[in-house]
Each structure stands twice: as C-alpha cells, then as structure tokens.
Amino acid sequence: MPGSIETVAIFGVGLIGGSFALALRKAGFEGRIVGVSSPATIDRAVEWKIIDAGAAEAEAASTADLIYLAEPIHRILERLSNLNRSVRPEALITDVGSTKSTIVERASREIDRCQFLGGHPLAGKERRGIEAADADLFAGRKYVLTPRSSADTSTPMAACFIDWIGKIGAIPVLADPEEHDRAVAYTSHLPQLASTALAALLPEKGRTIDISGPALLDMTRLALSPFETWHDIFTTNKPAIQQALSNYIRTLQAFSVMLDSQRMREQFERAAAAAKRLRPDD
Amino acid sequence: MPGSIETVAIFGVGLIGGSFALALRKAGFEGRIVGVSSPATIDRAVEWKIIDAGAAEAEAASTADLIYLAEPIHRILERLSNLNRSVRPEALITDVGSTKSTIVERASREIDRCQFLGGHPLAGKERRGIEAADADLFAGRKYVLTPRSSADTSTPMAACFIDWIGKIGAIPVLADPEEHDRAVAYTSHLPQLASTALAALLPEKGRTIDISGPALLDMTRLALSPFETWHDIFTTNKPAIQQALSNYIRTLQAFSVMLDSQRMREQFERAAAAAKRLRPDD
C-alpha cells in the first residue's frame, strides 16, 4: 500500500529543486510545498508560485513527508548530519547529488529516525538557478535511485515517491551506489575531464582558434561548465574517476602507437557501435 | 589582374566536390563543370545537373582552368603523380585534403607545368556522398589555403579562385601547411581520437549505457565517423597528432593528480575561457 505525500520540503530551490516543485504541480500534486533556500530565492519562488512558502531547516524537516535535498553535494552531506533530530518517523529523505556512495554512506551513519533513499535525476541545463526551473525538466529522462537493499524501494513512502517520479515523466532506474558511481565516472565525469583537457590545451597554440570546425565546438561544450559543481563530484568520487582516467589514458596511448595502422579500424568500429547504442532512436 | 575560370574539372563528385559545383552555379558561375568520378556517380551528377558531363582524367586535366581534387587524401596524392603531364600551363590545381604538408610536398615534387595551391574547406556533414551535396555547404565556413609563398595567392588564376571562394560564401584563411597540420591536430584530429577513445571504453562497462545523460551524447558524436576518412589523416599527419596526443595525455595525468584540489579550478577557468573564445557569438 503506497504512503501518501502531503507536504514536500525542498532544500535548495534552484534548477533541480524548483523544477521538481513545478513538475509535481503539473502532475497534479495538491499538497504543500515548502522551500529551504536563501531569502532572495524563497521570495522569488513564492512570487512565481513555485513553492507555497519558505521555512527554516528544522521546521521544514519536522513537517514534511518528503524531504528533497537538491543542494550541492557538500551541503547535502551537511544537511544529513543535521536532519535526523527533526524528521518525522514516516518521512522519506531523498537527494539529487550526482555522486552517491559518499552520500548514501553518510545517510546510513546519520539518519536512523526515518528512511533515506538516494537519487540522481539525469537532467540538467546549461543555465542554473531558479530562473531556469522547468516543469518538463525530468520528462523522458532517467531518474536513478540507489537503494541499499530492495526493501528500500518498497516501503509505503518510497513506493509513493517512485510513483511521483513516474508521474513527472521520468524513468526510474535502480542502481547500487558504488555501481552508479563507477558508471557515471565513465559516462559523465570522464567526458567532462576529456572536454576540459581538450579546451585547456587550446590557448597554448597560436593558430588553433583560427582553424577549427564544428567538431571542436561539440567536444568543448562541456568545458563551459562551472567548476563549483565539479569540485564536490571530484571530492566524492575520486577513486572511480581516477580509474576511468587511467583506462582512458591507456587507450589514448595505445591509439598513439597504432595510429597509422589498420588496427585503428577495429577501435573505430567498436567506438561507433557503442556510440550507436547510446542513440537507439537515430 | 585576375585570371578567368571557364572550365572546372572536379575529381571526386561527392559531398565536397558536388557541393563545390552547386555552390559555383549558385554564385553565378556560367562556365563548364566536368566531373571525374565513378560512372554511377557521374550519371547521377549529370542527371541532377550538378555537373555538365563526366570525363576521363587526362581529358579533364587537359581542358580545365581549375582542377579541383576532392577525393580522399591517398587518391589526391595519386592524382598529383599523374596530372602534370596533362595539365594546361595556365591551369590551377587545388585540393580539399584535410591534411596539407604531405599533399603540398607531393605537389611541389610532381607538379611543375602549372600552379598548385593546397586548400582545406572547414565544411562537412554527417552524411557523405553526392546525395548530401549542398550549394550552401561552404557558406560562412572557413576555407584554408596553404600557399608555399605569398606569391602563390596573387597569380591571376589563384586570385580568381580565391574570388570564387568568397562568392560561394566561404572565408579564405591563409596558413603555412605545417602550421595548418599542427593546428588541426589539436582542433580536429585530437577531438576525434578523444571521442573515439571515450566511446571505445563504454562496452567494457556493464551499466554505463543505462546511466548516461546528454553530456555523453555530445562527447561521442564524433565517434560515429567512419574510419576510411581517418586512416588517410593519421597516415599523413602522424607526428603532429602524436604530439597533440602526448600533450593531452600529460594534461589528463595532471588532472588525475590534482583532481580533488582547488588547483583544478584554474584548469576549469582556463578551459572555459578557451571554449568561450571558440563561440564569439554566444
């Protein structure tokens, strides 16, 4: 029997937190949504009818059925150390941090008065902040959940939360936290570093800017990302990222050796096959 | 005083060669355009009014004012070894190969009965072949020319050709062949290898396909490129590409060491600044 979510407390009413509030409303959520954010953000979020009201941490935590932590990872970790004393036993705490092992481990040490279920919606935008909040941000996107055991997704409140994930158009995907972190090291963190390294090499070459085409634009788009988000990711997923970097470097070294041989054909074919698998609809 | 181009012979009536013919016509070229290509391609190119007629190599070479080599690099190199005996002394031979040192060097050994001026239009499409030919392919794109001396661009026929490059909407850019090859090693060849290496790592990881977002799509788009084009590039620009790979690997190794330190901020800022410079209009 699914539980019922009457009050949601969103910690961090930015792109993700604000979009989750808008998406809930669009999907028919009729309960109360409170926000924990800076006064300026709360003012805008209330004015724009994204949330019903602002609240202090303890007040929000003590009244919410769903506590949605949508701040940067280091703030999520701080919240987890504070929330336990205030939460209601029926509540569910979830988060949107893009690394999971550190957060899930912290939650399992700090949260014992209610349930915690880690999450990572694979949704984003180049722009951030509440101004970019969008009721359709999650539509058609995967929403990873990282239960510690299968029981974690079948409690009444977790079942209800997962139900809402489906109603906002997202696709719930279950993963072990460590498995998640190893995967995103390859699919998100390594691509970011590969793009940043490529762009970081450019200023050293005098003419490169003059002779470049659309390929370089594709490959340096991620390099525009602000460092703030990434520092938390690098801090909380260091071994997996270093492992991915090491494999990537080894692959590039092999490419350099076989560069003008036909053995490169096999690498291109394997890479093209993997790239095609990522685009099942093309 | 610019020369006059009455007859153009296009060797290789594919995406680039076919687009050049269509672009010339659209820009008002009223002379004759002959094509040297497979019989099937010639049939289509004539039927679609992309060219006026097909011709054999020697016939095309002996009647053309502008010989436009738009085949793969290894075919361009073969043509350069054959064309000298057939060309008219007033003619200009140019090519579209995406590496320039090897081609320019081959031309300087083989071509002495007319002028050669290397070229590299920074234009492309995911689809190839005459079916993808497009009169606007060059519009707004850079068109690199690699003269061996400044006199190479001021002969009457070269001046006339450069004039037509402007008329088809492209932006002529002059570069030394070696300088060109060092630049594209960073701006085109390294991005390709970075994307291929990233995609080649994916199949080894079980869950990666399930947990990936738009960043990975951006970074693996180039990995869809067919190997055929690239083998010629790797063969003819090996030292510059290996140098770029080596600097890239060194950068990634440094990233791995400084990953969770604030020193990464400087790298991100430098990379973002370079990525922004590539997008002056954003």
In order along chain B (282 residues), what is the average pLDDT of each group of 10 residues?
A: 86 97 98 97 97 97 98 97 96 97 97 97 84 95 94 95 98 94 94 97 65 88 92 97 98 97 95 90 72
Q: What domains are defined for chain B?
A: 7-175 (3.40.50.720), 179-277 (1.10.3660.10)
Place of tokens 């002996």: B62
Cα distance between residue B180 and residue B26, in whole Å: 29
With CB atoms and an 8 Å threshold, state whether A264 touches B201: no
Contacts of A188 in chain B (CB under 8 A): 212-213, 215-216
Q: Does A174 touch chain B (CB under 8 A)?
A: no
Long-range contacts formed by B102-110: CB under 8 A, 24+ apart:
B102/B73, B102/B77, B102/B236, B102/B237, B103/B73, B103/B76, B103/B77, B103/B177, B103/B236, B104/B146, B104/B148, B104/B177, B105/B177, B106/B77, B106/B80, B106/B81, B107/B80, B108/B148, B110/B80, B110/B81, B110/B83, B110/B84
Residues 129-168 of A with CB under 8 A from B: 141-142, 144
A106 token code pair: 């912290």
The phi and psi torsions of B134 (rounded to 5 degrees) equal -150, 120
The amino acid sitting at B259 is L
- What CA–CA distances, in Å, run from B189 to A252, B185, B186, B193, B194? 12, 5, 6, 6, 9
Residues 29-88 of B with CB under 8 A from A: none
- What CA–CA distances, in Å, run from B184 to A152, B132, B142? 52, 24, 13
What's the pLDDT at A214?
82
Cα distance between residue A87 and residue A105, in whole Å: 19
What's the pLDDT at A274?
92
Q: What three-state secondary structure class fits A182?
A: helix
CA–chain centroid gap for B14, Å, is 13
Interface mutation vs chain B, best among A189, A207, A265, most B CBs within 10 Å: A207
Contacts of A198 in chain B (CB under 8 A): 190-191, 194, 248, 271
What's the pLDDT at B153?
94
- R_g (Cα) of chain A, nearest Å: 21
Q: Does B271 touch chain A (CB under 8 A)?
A: yes
Cα distance between residue A180 and residue A127, in whole Å: 25
How many angstroms away from the CA of A275 is the closest CA of chain B?
A: 6
Q: What three-state secondary structure class fits B66?
A: strand
pLDDT along chain A (282 residues), means of 10: 86 97 98 97 97 97 98 97 96 97 97 97 84 95 94 95 98 94 94 97 65 88 92 97 98 97 95 90 72
Neighbours of B196 (CB within 10 A): 28
Contacts of A242 in chain B (CB under 8 A): 256, 259
Cα distance between residue B79 and residue A50, in whole Å: 67
Q: Does A276 touch chain B (CB under 8 A)?
A: yes
Percent of all residues in chain B with a pLDDT value above 90, rounded to a whole number: 88
In chain A, which residue's Cα lies nearest the Cα of B231? A260
Cα distance between residue B214 and residue B221, in whole Å: 11
**Predicted TM-score (pTM) of this structure:** 0.90
In chain B, which residue's Cα lies nearest the Cα of A222? B215
